[in-house]
Structure 1
Amino acid sequence: MLAYYFELALRSLRRNKALTALMVLAIALGIGASMTTLTVLHVLSGDPLPGRSNTLYAPQLDPRDMTGYRPRAEPLDQVTWIDGMNLLQAKRADRQALMTGGSVAIQPAQSALDPFYQTARYTTADFFPMFGVPFRYGHAWGASEDAASAAVVVISSKLNDKLFGGRDSTGRIMRLENHALRIIGVLGDWRPNPHFYDLNVKNYGADEGVYLPLSTSQDLHLAHLGGADCWGNGGNDATHTAPCVWLQFWVQLDTPAKAAAYRQFLVHYSQEQKTLGRFQRPPNVRLRNLMQWLDYERVVPGDVQLQSWLALGFLLVCLVNTVGLMLAKFLRRSAELGVRRALGASRRALFSQLLVEAGVVGLAGGLGGLLLAYLGLWLVRRQPADYAPLAHLDGAMLLMTLLLAVGASLLAGVLPAWRACRVTPGLQLKSN
């Protein structure tokens, strides 16, 4: 029966091509605009580490003085050097990593390449297993290299391609800020977005090429890159003793019970530091998992969210127009529908037939909307925003585009189909 209704729908749509084209265009414009913005929102609000995000947490402490104190205010997003090292050495989590960003000068051995700057990540050994970082060649450093401030480095696959043509570069020497470091690993394909572990550099699109032990970066006096929040007489000096937060600290806690215990540990630690005179404020801690952290930091740009709502509003306007066009088309066929009713067709059968016709319009509009969405995303990728290169339509969003188009057209067709199938057969036969 559906095949028969589908054939009738095609015949009906071909009879009035102009009206059909208007309905398809209305659906296509609404779907294209809404799916462009929804795809961008989907990409930007996605889970950067699926399967791991619910066990990764960002601890927060409040080591500030009493200036500007407000009860229940949010603590700072980063940690001081003293607190970071204390928490790291306490080893109360399954894994923990203390880190910060940087920018380093690379002096290539090849004469054909000029020296250039590369963004860097100064971190501790658990960074790689905790975040599930894949390796193309070699391996990461361990706790012993952290303790010894070893002159080792891990580089990204992109930097390896640039310096060594993609060959295995482990064991080679890289000159970095006039220091010789031995390459021990080359990363595989790893670029989580948002750049969750350090939102002080970029929310999206950060491409770090160099990773080296945090202790090594401090011994070599490598430049710190990122924000520093200071109080008292700290100025803006990100040093080991200044009252400034400038490092990121992440922990892995494999069960909710461990997370609850770690939060209690943070409270006790804050109380201890207050007793020692370092902290002045009452204990004020937070322990958010990765996705909660992204929500708290509001990493999705506000203009993207606003554009999504506007696009959905535009889709609603297009659907209202489609309802009017379908109503005009279906009521114009009142005579035909009346004859079918007189010959024994039920209202339910007529209603189903007209809904199938609406679905065909939606499918055609969805295909047109898909093309418009691809065009819209191509234009987004041409924007200067740091998230622009991420705007791609994946399989899930492609399927959602077609389902949304068909569903929207079926919804738009309910009222016109209901009105049309309630025609009185006698009146239609008499008028003919």
Structure 2
Amino acid sequence: MNYTFELAYKNTFKHANLTALIVLTISLGIAACVITYALIYLMSADPLPTKSARVLHVQLDNWDPNKAAIEPNLPPEQVTWQDATNIVAAKQAKYQAASAIIWGMVTPTGKNAAPFLGVMRATHGEFFPMFNVPFLYGQGWQNAEPNEAKYVTVLTKEVNERVFAGENSVGKTLPMLGKIFTVVGVLDDWHPSPKFYDMVYGAFSKPEDLYIPFQIKADLELPHGGITNCWETNLGDNYQGFLNSECTNFELWVEVDDLTHISDYEFYLTSYVQQQKQLGRFARPINNILLDINQWLSYKRVVSKDIYVFFSLALLFLFVCLFNAASLISTKFTASTHEVALRRALGANQQNIFLQSMIEAMILGFLGGIFGLIFSLFGLQGISYLYPNFRTFLTLDLTLISFAFGLSILSSLMSALGPIWFLNRTPIAKHLT
């Protein structure tokens, strides 16, 4: 076996130019497939694998009785302020948190930190344990009772470095939104991709800069970020009119203890809507939707159909490369016909020749995998340059590397089967005269 491998290795590099062309041909096809498959694989990755089936996105149909929010008959993707506060306050799940995007001025008092416009998320304290948000310092806050909120904040690692030079800032104060907030926590690196908990600005947008309690949005009458949808026309002129309306602007997520409690929570939502119907709301038939994280990503079509089309085209390109590689391998093996005939005459059987040729093909495939990965890295870097939001997750992990080498070796073997068969069928005497 060692002798056969040694012969295969030497024969692979005996015709260096042909070997280089074969490897280049295979590697280009592999790179095209790896790049497109990496996009599908990484974009559809489970962002919370330890409990994604228990973390549920809530949709309630409070929409216009004469028209669906989303055709053909789907409820809005966000909920109203009333429903967000009521459902969170009911505490029918292990964790529950509503949230919305806001923005406002952050005005640090330090000499080295200039004021800046911060993108913030108003949310409940259970947002952090529900989504396994990692902390560098401190922790989040406890869910407050409705209409109560402390002026506390959680900073991202980047903002903490910007304002407090990366020090432990828990307990320090930070002026923003015209008030003085106390820092209770600083996040460690956290860039969920996809950004499943709120994708209104894109499934791969950056997380917010700061986090504040949900009620503060109402207390300070902060702007409505994200997507706001309203079907009512008379909302009144004051901020409270919006909060009391049927306008949707708030993401609502809950986490149940285990999968058996999902049906219990569905029953609670049905009871809640029935109760609200008695108050004159929810004129449409009950149409609640609970989707776990992966179902929600599928619902939002995070991986578009276009990417699957590109992957199909990449596979076609790979087949073209394999056809050309087969032609080059045939030329390479043809150049070795006299040597093969001599080995056969000296006692080597067809199995020995077949094994040697297959080992040569595997070496070519391995080399194609190496260069295919190199080309793939350049391709992914180019995509990251064109789409900066993709930089946090476009990496080649062990699965993708294994895919590249497996596909490359398989492709090389497929390209070589035809030439190997013809090589073994060649009459010995014809090449010994």
The answer to whether TM tops 0.5 is: yes
1:375 maps to 2:374: no
The one-letter amino acid of 2:67's match is G
Which one-letter code corresponds to 2:100 in the other structure? T
Asked if residue 137 in structure 1 is aligned to residue 137 in structure 2, the reply is yes
The normalised TM-score by structure 2 is: 0.92
CA distance in 2, matches of 1:324, 1:67: 65
Measured in 2, the distance between the counterparts of 1:20 and 1:398 equals 22
Q: TM-score, normalised by structure 1?
A: 0.92
Match of 1:188 in 2: 188
Q: Which residue of 1 aligns with 2:277?
A: 274
CA contact (8 A) 2:85 2:146 kept: no
Residue 373 of structure 2 aligns to a residue in which SS? helix
Task: Tell whether the 8 Å contact from 1:124 to 1:146 is kept in structure 2 after alignment.
Answer: no
| Corresponding residue for residue 220 of structure 1 | 220
Equivalent residue letter for 2:46? D
Give the aligned residue type for 2:26. Answer: I
CA contact (8 A) 2:193 2:392 kept: no
CA displacement 1:35-65 (0-9 Å, x = unmatched)? 2232233222211122121211112111112
1:291 Cα offset (Å): 0.8
Match of 2:295 among 289, 292, 297: 292
Tell me by how many angstroms 1:171 deviates: 1.1
Specify the SS of the correspondent of 1:200: coil
C-alpha distance in 1 between matches for 2:271 and 2:335:
76
In structure 2, C-alpha distance between the alignment counterparts of 1:148 and 1:244, rounded to whole Å: 22
Q: Give unmatched runs, 5+ long, in structure 1.
A: none
Report deviation, 1:294: 0.5
Partner AA of 2:41 in structure 1:
H
Q: How does 1:19-418 map to 2 (within 5 A)?
A: 19-69=18-68, 73-144=73-144, 148-233=148-233, 239-418=242-421
| Matched-pair contact (CA < 8 Å) for 1:154–1:212 | yes
> How far did residue 301 of structure 1 move?
4.5
User: Which whole-Å CA distance do the structure 2 matches of 1:235 and 1:308 have between them?
Assistant: 48
Q: Are the counterparts in 2 of residues 146 and 214 from structure 1 also a CA contact under 8 Å?
A: no
**3-state SS, counterpart of residue 141 of structure 1:** coil
Q: Which region of structure 1 is more displaced relative to structure 2, 409-418 or 329-338? A: 329-338
* Greater displacement, 298-307 / 280-289: 298-307
The 1-side partners of 2:148 and 2:235 are apart by 31
Letter in 2 for 1:102: I
Q: Give the Cα–Cα distance (whole angstroms) in 1 for the partners of residues 15 and 74 of structure 2.
A: 62
> Matches of residues 420-431 of structure 1 in structure 2 within 5 Å?
420-429=423-432
> Which residue identity does 1:29 align to in structure 2?
L
Q: Per the alignment, in what secondary structure is the counterpart of residue 224 of structure 1? A: coil
CA–CA distance in structure 1, aligned partners of residues 392 and 313 of structure 2: 22
TM-superposed CA distance for 1:424, in Å, is: 3.2
How many angstroms does 1:324 deviate by? Answer: 1.8
Report SS of the residue matched to 1:137: strand
C-alpha contact (below 8 Å) 2:27/2:372 kept by paired residues: yes
Q: Distance in 2 between matches of 1:26 and 1:169?
A: 55
CA drift of 1:266 comes to 2.4
AA paired with 1:132? Answer: N
- TM-superposed CA distance for 1:378, in Å, is 1.8
Whichever residue aligns with residue 172 of structure 2, its letter is R
Q: Deviations over 1:317-356 (max 9, x none)?
A: 1112112221232244334333433444333322221111
- Per the alignment, do residues 417 and 254 of structure 1 end up closer, same or farther by CA in structure 2, a change over 3 Å counting? farther
User: How far 1:388 moved relative to its partner?
Assistant: 4.2
Q: Which amino acid is the alignment partner of residue 327 of structure 2?
A: G
Change (3 A) 1:343 1:270: farther
Partner Cα distance (1:328, 1:263) in 2: 66
From the superposition, tell whether residues 271 and 419 of structure 1 become closer, same or farther in structure 2 (CA, over 3 Å).
farther
Distance 2:22 2:143 in 1: 65
- SS of the residue 2:323 aligns to: helix
* Contact 1:31–1:405, Cα closer than 8 Å, also in 2: yes
Task: Select between 231-240 and 380-389 the one with higher mean Cα deviation.
Answer: 231-240
Q: Secondary structure at the match of 1:393?
A: coil
Q: CA deviation at 1:200?
A: 1.1
Alignment CA distance shift 1:234-1:395 (3 Å) = farther
Deviation for aligned residue 1:79:
0.7
Q: Offset at 1:407?
A: 2.2
SS at match of 1:345: coil
How far has the Cα of 1:296 moved from its partner? 0.7
- Gaps of at least 5 residues in structure 2 are none
Q: Secondary structure at the match of 2:185?
A: strand
Partner amino acid, structure 2, of 1:243: E
Q: Which moved more, 1:347-356 or 1:263-272?
A: 263-272
Q: Give how far 1:81 is off.
A: 1.3
Which region of structure 1 is more displaced relative to structure 2, 109-118 or 140-149?
140-149
Q: Residues of 2 paired with 1:344 and 1:267: CA distance?
A: 81
Deviation at 1:215, TM superposition (A): 0.6
Question: Are 2:366 and 2:408, in contact at CA under 8 Å, matched by a contact in 1?
Answer: yes
- Give the counterpart letter for 1:11 in structure 2: K
Which secondary structure state, in structure 1, belongs to the residue aligned with residue 386 of structure 2?
coil
Distance 2:272 2:345 in 1: 83
Q: Distance in 2 between matches of 1:261 and 1:120?
A: 33
Q: Alignment RMSD, CA only? A: 2.3
Paired amino acid for 1:104: G
The secondary structure found in structure 2 opposite 1:386 is: helix
Distance 1:146 1:314, change over 3 A: farther
Cα contact 1:54–1:291 (8 A) shared by 2: yes
Q: 1:9 to 1:271 in 2, by over 3 A?
A: same
